[in-house]
Structure 1
């Protein structure tokens, strides 16, 4: 038996324009440029306009518009959209975003910088190894990470190459003597031991520390080392000083294949007592609608319906992209200007004057959703007089002092760091003691909070900070 029922429900769906804007908002400037160039390749209605053509093109379009005659019949006008009006809407389809030009920008020739892999391969090819051993060596070198450690053990390499472990170990031992010394080690102990053994005058006591008493050395059990080796604490101190001069990350210092630099999306400058925001978007292409497709849309006699439908679809996509780029720029400007307004003391005096602020503060101020502010601030950087910062940097939790003042947790972290830097080296302060010192200064911070902030700053526990 068939039954008819009614159900009332609410669903939240984003329009294609909203989805596009959301995706563009979270892109940094370099990724946005790539996205636009990809759209230029896939959408025939979009084309890039050069800076020097902008003024001439606009003048020509104004003259052309005044001479065009509308040959559309009245029935078509009722059934379809007035494409002529849309295509000639400069505000919607050819938004030429103003750009701040920097006269100091210039191109410099690329300087060749050798990578760690290239450096090791060149040494490998200079050895007296057989071609087969060189193939094993190349496999080993390509599995060395950025800090110089081998990312897999010899057994795995032997299994992957269907080779004997002994042959792999033999080649690995040769590579570990390459420059920089200690490269391709499997752990810190092996890395330090290789460097000690390769010294011109090997320190036998230091070798014994690393080879036979590494656990005590790592955990700074100085008294136990002195007792087991029957030496004085002064000797232990001298040996440790010798070991700490070694390089625990021999692979650092070489250029990596990845781009390890940040291109700021924004710049804040102080001009005439006010802070002004500039967008670093000089490389973002100007977009416009291709003129040939304009003519095809206007010439209904020679353009069939299937072609017009395709152009309509591509035109909508082009319009959404251009409008979304314009909205993206305006939204980022509003967010950055609001951050400056709320963190004015930071931009005037530096990071030590940063105030606590959350995403909701900005969202409420500009009348946008928190998720929108999160997309704007994620992965984007601003250049200031105090350095380059990610926009997320300006947001932090607040901690209330005894006087009722709200301070940023970044200030608490700096205080913890200062306390640790000034602590006695032979008797470092534990987290409880640091919490008590902060409380004496008016900051009610629990021991667990101190431990959390210390770990976030990658500062070890008191036992591992101890020095002789």
Structure 2
């Protein structure tokens, strides 16, 4: 049955500017430069004074007070323009509390990366050294091009044959492809072009001394008992292979020397984990000083040429449709540039305010670096201190790093839940995780502690937590179950 009715609702929606600010807040320092360059490319009314030669004296373009707001941004459809609103917005490094950008050579240095052949180029060079026919060379190139980043050939041989038939008009037989594949599997790094882990390990073992009993047993273990090995059923392996624990330990040590991902050996040197901290905390004789990375304070301003367009419009008597359309376009770009500059300043203010609250909350920890001084802290604790929404604090904590005297850390790592000890004191669950990690590190690896036993150990130390909580903490630290921690 269809029915018409009137409803009145009160909805709260984010403006496009608020959505853009939220996205800008989430951007870490390492990606901020790219976001600013993107804005500079699409908006000619925005300028980065650090990239251009500023010949005009600064006093002709005074900085705007960070506390000022531009009310005219709310009336972009109006035909009345106030030129003065755009003549006071050079914003040349008007970012209090940040590190000075000018003269900081370290911010502009790039990490030199050694020039070397890539993993796939290395294999192609080895392929060229073989005495192959043109047909086999094409098959070899197809195989190398089909390897994944780990160095495995995970695609079926039939798929490679189909690819060559369609792309190169080469009709290859399966025996031909397998013959070339066997040659490539002898390339360096050992184990490359294997179709699974078992084949990868066997290729590497077959390159070792075949007269060694340890190698022979290792090959037999991988060929016939790989599942038992991965599950660490050592007693069963000893009985099956008719060996003692010392011999099994030698076999396992030999297998652990193998590389399960041969592709990484050629590519890992080119992969550099380079974290740029968003904040810096320095300890000056017991007093902590917080600064924001200079990259968060770009030297942006509104374009002078676009300001002059407004001056020309104000003095001109011509008010035809084309002039109004042109000025409307200019005003739109100026509004966008002013908003972006204000958003960058608001971003910097939000970052500093949030990090300052975190630093003060965890003051003892940042003084010492001792995890035992890390207080229980949740997002709401900081949100209440800075008078912001929890989601805003979460966006700051999830993607920003702080550099201290004892390391660089993700802000999210300082948040933790509270655990009540037997004495009634509330401690951070990070402290419990630290003790749990120490217990596992000091356990007898021949008889590792199960979760139930770990629960008893923690209770003896004054932390009455459930077994499922111990399992949750262990998994969060990427520590396997007791059976998989067993060693000979």
**Range of TM-score over shorter length:** 0.7 to 0.9
Give the structure 2 partner of residue 44 of structure 1. Answer: 44
Question: C-alpha displacement at 1:25, in angstroms?
Answer: 0.1
1:161 and 2:164 correspond = yes
Corresponding position of 2:304: 291
Q: CA deviation at 1:94?
A: 5.8
Question: Deviations 1:229-282 (Å, cap 9, x if unpaired)?
Answer: 333333222222222222223233444566532222222222343222222234
Q: Secondary structure at the match of 1:276?
A: strand
Q: In the TM superposition, what is the alpha-carbon distance from 1:181 to its structure 2 partner?
A: 0.6
Alignment of 1:140-219 (within 5 A): 140-162=143-165, 163-201=172-210, 203-219=215-231
Separation (CA, whole Å) in 1 of partners of 2:174 and 2:434: 50
1:137/1:371 Cα in 2 relative to 1: closer, same or farther (>3 Å)? farther
Instruction: Show CA shifts across 1:128-165 (max 9, x none).
Output: 23344333333433443444333434344334334443
The residue aligned with 1:112 is 115
* 8 Å CA contact retained: 1:146, 1:251: yes
Given that residues 267 and 382 in structure 1 are in contact (C-alpha distance below 8 angstroms), is that contact kept between their aligned partners in structure 2? Answer: yes
In structure 2, relative to structure 1, the CA distance for the partners of 1:42 and 1:103 (3 Å cut) is closer
Q: Offset at 1:175? A: 2.2
The equivalent position to 2:127 in structure 1, one of 124, 143, 166, is 124
- SS in structure 1 of the partner of residue 325 of structure 2: helix
- 1:454 corresponds to 2:466: no
TM-score norm. by structure 2 comes to 0.84
Distance change >3 Å, CA 324–CA 95, structure 1 → 2: farther
How far off its partner does 1:43 sit? 1.1
Residue equivalent to 1:354: 374
Aligned equivalents of 2:187, 2:157: Cα separation in 1: 18
1:236 corresponds to which of 248, 256, 277:
248
CA-CA distance at 1:35 after TM superposition: 1.5
Unaligned stretches of 5+ residues in structure 2: 63-77, 166-171
Indicate if the aligned counterparts of 1:95 and 1:326 stay in contact, CA closer than 8 A: no
2:259 maps to what in 1?
247
Cα pair 1:95 1:323 within 8 Å, conserved: no
234, 242, 259: which one aligns with 1:222: 234
Corresponding residue of 1:463: 483
Distance verdict in 2 for CA 1:107–1:235, change over 3 Å: closer
Counterpart CA distance in 1 for 2:25 and 2:140 is 46
RMSD, aligned α-carbons: 2.7
Structure 2 CA distance for partners of 1:371 and 1:245, relative to 1, 3 Å: same
Q: Name 2:20's counterpart in structure 1.
A: 20
Q: Is the 8 A contact 1:351 1:386 kept in 2?
A: no
The aligned residue for residue 314 of structure 1 is 333
Equivalent pair of 2:93/2:297 in contact (CA under 8 Å): no
User: Whole-Å Cα distance in 2 between the matches of residues 409 and 141 of structure 1?
Assistant: 48
Instruction: Confirm or deny that 1:31 pairs with 2:31.
Output: yes
1:417 deviation in Å? 1.9
Kindly provide the CA deviation profile for residues 362-387 of structure 1, in whole angstroms up to 9, marking residues without a partner as x: 11110000111111122221211121
CA contact 2:89–2:302 (8 Å) conserved in 1: no
Alpha-carbon distance in structure 2 between the residues aligned to 1:406 and 1:136: 65
Count of residue correspondences: 449
- 1:357 and 1:451 map into 2 onto residues whose CA distance is 22
